[in-house]
Structure 1
Amino acid sequence: MGDRYAHVGRSATPEEQAARARAFAIDPATMTSVRLAIDADGGVLGHAALRRLQHGPSVEWELKRLITVPAARGRGVGALLVRAIEADAAAAGATRVILQTGDRQPEAIGLYRRLGYRPVPAYAPYAGVIAEGLYFAKDLA
């Protein structure tokens, strides 16, 4: 990802850089589920996590850190991980899952759209901070 977003933050002020760092920071206490995909030999193919975001009285469930190793891409591993996180969210009482991704990740954007995610407005903690962010949600039925 570094090369795709190398331009981001070059002209940012220290305050803007700190705001970005806060937006992307994850409190481990908010992580409710982590899923790994492994191959028959025990090698990791990818992972994803679920974060509980509390905004005052409302709660959102956010898909975080969906990553697949290059050799696993295009083999359904990402979709498998997303579905597992959606199941975890539903089991926790979620009615939808939200996520943030970058505008320079067409593969991820395509995956999310194929899985039924639709664009939504930016949400905290990214709103007003992550200009290159794209935001999606999927209702769980």
Structure 2
Amino acid sequence: VLKFIGSGIGRNVLIAAGFITMFSYFIFNIKHYKNVLRSFLVSKEGAWIITAGILLCIGEAFENMSSVPHHVLFEELSELSGYVLILLVAFTYSKNGTTRRASGYSKSVDSFACAKSTPLLHTTELKRYASPNSSSNTHRNG
């Protein structure tokens, strides 16, 4: 049974279940996601993503233009530029955070904000370990 989950019909069922879950979550929170999408598209990162998409479309157009000399070069250059731009946007977006203008997002959102604000161990509870045979007041010189 487990070998069918990652391939064939099992894979398709898993992908369909994932998309149905994401789509239903989107539908139940559609107002929130409309605001977030609008906020993202008017931001600098949104403009870069749109530019990257245009570059990818240009690359697709060059793929079928055999009448243009070196059309494969232009195709690959524009696609590479588009993918690099998407990667740069992802790095910038996750590193600097983005100010969300949508309702409920007035603060700057950092991808590691939750991890920074809630440490796994509270350092005030930790004390320096001292072995039972040593004393902190004695210092031995060899």
Normalised by the length of structure 2, the TM-score is 0.30
Normalised by the length of structure 1, the TM-score is 0.30
More helix by share: 2
